[in-house]
């Protein structure tokens, strides 16, 4: 079951991806994130994925597309908290999520966003 | 004695990867290998749903003299098949709107990977990961 959440913290949207996310749910979440950027007028989005135990090619594509869409809308995206073994798998598979800024964890991502760079 | 998972809709892909992780962890695979196996199963189960609409997975623990214990998954469908296997394995090739990295990526994650397919009759993809490297 999908247990993801979207909340506003300071000037950023914090999206926590959690639980079992099937492909359709991932697309629905993408739409929700984009709409929340407008609704809350944030300049940054942090997608926190430390609870995700796998990122396959579909999820990788959704994540990088979401970041590109948010950029087009004028906000900045950080992917935060990628698990070590998930990072290993992404690299071994050769999945491309270049162009997505990453942060070690949520705190670091919010700090960087607050610093305004 | 093999077990079977039917793939008929999107949520079955989620079920397949939950089972894969559970079996891999029970067999004593490292966290890294659990992630590799689960990711491979996610890719191939999705391909069944996307390109063949439905199919099934058979999985079992296997033992082979020198290699020792391993886990084998066989993905089967009776969809359109994969007419050009080499093309399908090409990094970035997709006939849909994917990343075109599912088959090539899975091959890299697993110790054994082979595709059998006759056009019009579906596809059979077999993957194996050995417990001890
Ligand atoms: N079970 C299958 N039946 C028919 N064609 C398949 C099957 N699995 C994969 N393919 C073909 O191989 C291509 C590459 O698959 P893949 O590497 O997973 O990338 P993607 O799914 O992103 O297109 C697919 O676009 C599809 O044309
Ligand atoms: Mg695929």
Q: CA-CA distance, A7 to A12, in Å (whole number)?
A: 8
**Residue B126 pLDDT greater than 90, yes or no:** yes
Tokens, residue B34? 């659990």
User: Smallest Cα–Cα separation from B55: which of B17, B8, B16, B21?
Assistant: B8
Give the domain CATH number at B12.
Answer: 3.30.565.10
Q: CA-CA distance, A77 to A80, in Å (whole number)?
A: 10
Give per-residue pLDDT as tens, B101-123.
Answer: 999 999 999 999 999 998 889 99
Q: CA-CA distance, B79 to B88, in Å (whole number)?
A: 15
Domains, chain A = 2-113 (3.30.750.24)
**Sheet of B68-77: strands edge to edge?**
B3-7, B55-64, B68-77, B123-130, B112-117
Residues of A within 8 A of B102 (CB-CB) are: 56-57
At CB < 8 Å, which residues of chain B contact A?
10-11, 13-14, 17-18, 21, 31-32, 34-36, 38-39, 42-43, 46, 91, 98-99, 101-102, 104-106, 108-109
**Residue A117 pLDDT greater than 90, yes or no:** no
**Residue B62 pLDDT greater than 70, yes or no:** yes
Find the domain containing B89 and state its range: 3-130
pLDDT at position A9 is 94
H-type helices in chain B, by residue range?
A: 10-26, 31-47, 85-88, 102-109
Residues of A (47-66) whose Cβ lies below 8 Å from B? 53-58, 60-61
Cβ atoms of A45 and A29 closer than 8 Å: no
Closest partner residue to A94 (CB to CB) among B17, B34, B91 is B91
Is this model's pTM higher than 0.90 or not?
yes
How many folded domains does chain B comprise?
1
Q: What is the ipTM of this complex?
A: 0.95
Beta carbons within 8 Å of B71's beta carbon, 6+ residues apart: B23, B24, B27, B29, B37, B59, B60, B61, B62, B128, B129, B131
| A94–B39 C-beta distance less than 8 A | no
């Amino acid at each position: 079951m999908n247990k993801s959440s979207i909340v506003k913290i300071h000037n950023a949207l914090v999206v926590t991806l959690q639980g079992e996310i099937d492909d359709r749910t991932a697309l629905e979440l993408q739409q929700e994130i984009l709409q929340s950027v407008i609704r809350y007028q944030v300049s940054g989005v942090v997608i926190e994925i430390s609870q995700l135990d796998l990122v396959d090619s579909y999820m990788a594509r959704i994540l990088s597309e979401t970041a590109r869409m948010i950029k087009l809308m004028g906000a900045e995206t950080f992917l935060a908290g990628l698990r070590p073994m998930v990072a290993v798998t992404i690299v071994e598979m050769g999945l491309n999520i270049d162009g997505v800024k990453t942060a070690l964890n949520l705190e670091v991502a919010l700090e960087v966003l607050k610093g305004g760079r | 004695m093999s077990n079977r998972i039917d793939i008929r809709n999107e949520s079955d892909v989620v079920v397949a990867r939950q089972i894969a992780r559970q079996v891999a962890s029970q067999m004593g695979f490292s966290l890294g290998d659990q992630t590799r196996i689960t990711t491979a199963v996610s890719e191939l189960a999705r391909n069944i749903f996307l390109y063949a609409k439905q199919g099934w997975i058979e999985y079992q623990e296997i033992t082979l003299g020198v290699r020792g214990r391993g886990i084998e998954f066989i993905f089967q469908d009776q969809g359109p098949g994969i007419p050009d296997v080499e093309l399908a394995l090409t990094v970035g090739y997709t006939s849909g709107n994917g990343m075109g990295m599912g088959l090539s990526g899975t091959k890299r994650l697993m110790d054994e990977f082979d595709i059998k397919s006759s056009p019009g009759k579906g596809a059979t993809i077999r993957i194996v990961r050995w417990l001890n490297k």
